[in-house]
């Protein structure tokens, strides 16, 4: 279990009263996320925003933080979290980068799945929204690289929002990941990401979304997070989810093709999900 290195009182003091710090939402190796109320913006003007306030623990990740900020700064889409503010504060004696995102009411998909699988319609709605987020990112030649249930927020109405661009990489940017290493969550890597290839495309995010969809329908990870099994041979989807429609099984099998060029393109996925939802 990761321990929060920050004291709530010190965090609140570091912002000089601009934020009212609430409960922890998530604590991980990269940082701590709080729910907070932003009462003054960076210029000191009054505002009223509920935010997900992320404080980064490792200063060695500053370049990755900057990429996360730059990736999303000029990108606005209903299926992507909105960046409200970023900067550096001094918490105790430590300089810490922070990012304030809009607070998304709902729960992370990984938490939602602890209650059991989603229905086909619920799965399709999540998939459609995440596909729209991938489209928005890919329009800027950005690959998310970490599409997993923990990074998908599900609103009370079932609509999904893709969060955490800490691993996002612009196709034209140089890599900051060590040679032979890859960024993301094991169990969701595409085969090419598993091989630590740097020239990833949206097809890699499509593969990860296919794994997430299968997990939604099963209520558990399809290979128990066995990355080798995912990358070594295509999964036979229909026997795993016999209750799902053949068209949905075919779509997921296509997304999980080992070779990126054989996966459906984003426009094809949008059309498939639209038709399947319309038929329900």
Catalytic positions are 146
Residue environment code for 139-176, b if the CB has 16+ CB neighbours within 10 A, otherwise e: eeebbbbbbbbbbbbbeeeebbbbbbbbbbbeeeeeee
Residue 123: which of 240, 237, 229, 252 has the closest Cα?
A: 252
> Which residues are 83's β-sheet partners?
101
Tell me the CA distances in angstroms from 213 to 11, 28, 130, 153, 166, one per residue in order.
37, 24, 10, 14, 22
Which helix (H) or strand (E) segment is 85 a member of?
strand 83-91
Crossing angle (nearest 10°) for helices 202-218 and 120-138: 170
Q: How many residues does the chain have?
A: 280
């Amino acid at each position: 279990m990761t321990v929060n290195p920050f004291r709530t009182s010190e965090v609140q003091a570091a912002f000089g009263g601009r934020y009212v710090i609430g409960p922890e939402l998530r604590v991980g190796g990269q940082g701590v996320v709080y729910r907070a109320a932003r009462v003054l913006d960076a210029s000191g003007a009054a505002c009223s925003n509920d935010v997900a306030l992320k404080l980064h623990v490792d200063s060695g990740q500053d370049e990755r933080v900057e990429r996360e900020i730059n990736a999303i700064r000029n990108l606005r889409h209903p299926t992507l979290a909105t960046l409200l503010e970023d900067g550096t504060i001094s918490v105790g004696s430590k300089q810490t980068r922070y990012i304030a995102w809009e607070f998304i009411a709902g729960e992370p998909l990984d938490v939602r799945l602890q209650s059991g699988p989603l229905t086909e319609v619920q799965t399709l709605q999540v998939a459609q929204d995440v596909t729209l987020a991938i489209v928005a990112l890919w329009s800027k030649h950005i690959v998310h690289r970490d599409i997993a249930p923990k990074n998908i927020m599900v609103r009370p109405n079932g609509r999904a929002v893709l969060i955490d661009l800490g691993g996002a990489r612009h196709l034209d940017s140089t890599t900051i990941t060590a040679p032979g290493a890859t960024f993301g969550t094991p169990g969701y890597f595409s085969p090419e990401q598993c091989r630590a290839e740097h020239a990833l495309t949206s097809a890699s995010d499509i593969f990860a979304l296919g794994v997430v969809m299968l997990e939604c329908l099963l209520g558990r990870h399809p290979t128990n997070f066995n990355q080798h099994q995912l990358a070594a041979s295509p999964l036979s989807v229909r026997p795993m989810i016999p209750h799902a429609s053949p068209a949905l099984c075919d779509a997921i099998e296509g997304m999980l093709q080992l070779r990126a060029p054989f996966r459906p393109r984003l426009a094809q996925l949008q059309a498939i999900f639209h038709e399947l939802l319309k038929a329900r």
